[in-house]
Amino acid sequence: MDKTAKVVLDGQEYELPVVVGTEDEVGIDISKFRGTSGAITLDSGYANTGSCKSEICFIDGEKGILRYRGYPIEQLAEHAKFPEVAYLLINGELPTAAQYESFRQDLTYHSMIHEDMKKFFEGFRHTAHPMAILSAMVTSLSSYYPEVDDDADDHNIIRLLAKVKTVAAYAYKKSIGQPFVQPQNKLAYCANFLHMMFAVPTEPYEVDPVLEDALNVLLILHADHEQNCSTSTVRMVGSSQANLYASMSAGISALWGPLHGGANQKVIEMLNMIQQDGGGIDKYVAKAKDKSDPFRLFGFGHRVYKNFDPRATILRKSAESVLDRLGVHDPMLEIARQLEEVALKDEYFIERNLYPNVDFYSGIIYRAMGIPTDMFTVMFALGRLPGWIAHWKELRNDPSSRINRPRQIYTGAGERDYVGIADRG
Ligand code: CMC
């Protein structure tokens, strides 16, 4: 027999259907509750609200489990290539060798940006944050590639995946006043991005395989994370049937905030501040615990993970190995290690289940790779793009999907009469 749940409101009992997921997660379906009871449910920050059913990503925050389409993140990070993971997320299965080859080729041959669009970059100040450029350029792509036929979504998904790395690298080149470097068809996805970032017209540039491997792992770890703030934003915007590019641009804007993808930039700024202040950890741990101080330990805490973030575990090891292989000694890594050690033993952090998250170590790796701090969140966006696309596509193909439209409990003024400006005192 199907499970149900009961709610008693004002003495009246309501029976509600229960939905059970693949991994036995339980959700009470309240979609018809208002119709029968007149009441809504209130859940500020959606901490306990399922907004959809989804087949893309599974997280068990208590056990520190993350899987894309059933595959453990640890296995994908160790063995897969980023385009393979992108294909998996978007299409549901890992590609065959032939499918992978054709996907890789598509991603290569659509990398160039329309010459006219390059002029858009000229309009930005050289000090513009690259996330502002990325978000604006992604939405602008819709004016070049409108949805004109039934296959438009598939074509646009390929174009978007292929071109975003070019836009991201050009945003960086713009910020340092260097000429844009064209993508090269012979290079794979990650190598092509690094080439466009770091090559200059006057010098030959060989992509360092250490950088390519490190980038591959970072992008895979960021590729999806179910209904996080930016993905929910993509679904929210997509639910109004806004086009792919507009929906992705909204996701980029949501990611930018320091509590979400912007945290990777904030971690490095925080470690820098600690270093410049003499390297004392305790003062900053105390500040983070002080409720009258707005300071937080960036890169710590997560809405879902209450034990450990499996991505952070992979990146902690990866940071050590990448710095080692590149021969980089970064005092930030030592400060990060000390901070982690002190915080993990502290009652405040233990009680609240606050552990390092994916952003705690990613910035240290990006620094070692030569990627500037204000590009870190762009790197996160590059990685998260396949996840956003997969969710947008899932929503688009779901015949039961409706426009997202939450309700509220109104707490403002009661009805009152308008008073003319002359009589307002
Ligand atoms: N430093 C100090 N205290 C913290 C921190 C932190 N980083 N994170 C949470 N807390 C405290 C918070 O003050 C609260 O304490 P109390 O119960 O006494 O009021 C308690 O822990 C619960 O925190 P919350 O803000 O209610 O938790 P949340 O689920 O709403 O927020 C979070 C999650 C990630 C926004 C938050 O932990 C945070 O601000 N972390 C720092 C920013 C960060 O690293 N963000 C990256 C997240 S991972 C990448 C991604 O997917 O976006």
pLDDT per position as a tens digit, 310-367: 999 999 999 989 999 999 998 988 999 999 999 889 999 999 999 999 999 999 999 9
For residue 34, tell me if it sits in a domain.
Answer: yes
> Angle at CA 47, nearest 5°, toward 46 and 53?
70
Which CATH number is 24's domain given?
Answer: 2.20.28
Q: Within a 10 A sphere around the Cβ of 347, how many other Cβ atoms?
A: 8
CA distances from 228 to 60, 383, 386, 405 (A): 14, 14, 14, 17
- Could you tell me the pTM of the whole model? 0.95
142-167 per-position pLDDT tens digit = 988 877 555 667 889 999 999 999 99
293 labelled catalytic: no
Total count of domains within the chain: 1
23-38 per-position pLDDT tens digit = 999 999 999 999 999 9
Give the pair of three-digit tokens for residue 371. Answer: 């990627």
Helix 82-91 to helix 189-198 angle (10° resolution) is: 120
Mutate which of 230, 354, 355, 377 for ligand 1? The one with the most ligand atoms within 8 Å of its CB, which is 354
For residue 44, tell me if it sits in a domain.
Answer: yes
For residue 31, tell me if it sits in a domain.
Answer: yes
Cβ–ligand 1 contact at 288 (below 6 Å): yes
Give me Rg for the CA atoms of the chain: 23
For residue 39, tell me if it sits in a domain.
Answer: yes
Cβ–ligand 1 contact at 225 (below 6 Å): yes
Cβ–ligand 1 contact at 260 (below 6 Å): yes
Q: What is the pLDDT of residue 286?
A: 93
The pLDDT-based confidence of 129 (bands split at 50, 70, 90) is very high
At position 373, the amino acid (one-letter code) is: T
The Cα 73–Cα 311 span in angstroms is: 8
The Cα 339–Cα 353 span in angstroms is: 16
Which candidate, 346, 241, 356, 357, places its Cα nearest to that of 290?
346
Task: Return the percent helix, strand and coil in the chain, to nearest 5.
Answer: 55, 5, 40
CA distances from 131 to 70, 115, 287, 365 (A): 31, 21, 29, 19
Non-local (6+) Cβ contacts of 105 within 8 A are none
Q: Whose CA is nearest to atom 44 of ligand 1?
A: 299
110 labelled catalytic: no
For residue 11, tell me if it sits in a domain.
Answer: yes
Q: Whose CA is nearest to atom 22 of ligand 1?
A: 352
Q: Which of 302, 309, 374, 391 is catalytic?
A: 302
**At 116, phi and psi to the nearest 5?**
-65, -35
At position 59, the amino acid (one-letter code) is: I
At position 82, the amino acid (one-letter code) is: F
CB 388 within 8 A of CB 251: yes
What number does the ligand 1 atom closest to the CA of 228 have?
A: 51
For residue 370, tell me if it sits in a domain.
Answer: no
For residue 18, tell me if it sits in a domain.
Answer: yes
CB-based burial label for 133 (10 Å; 0-12, 13-18, 19+): buried
Cα of 281 to ligand 1 centre, how many Å? Answer: 19
For residue 163, tell me if it sits in a domain.
Answer: no
Q: Which domain holds residue 27?
A: 4-50
Q: Which of 309, 359, 374, 391 is catalytic?
A: 359
Q: Whose CA is nearest to atom 51 of ligand 1?
A: 260
Cβ–ligand 1 contact at 357 (below 6 Å): yes
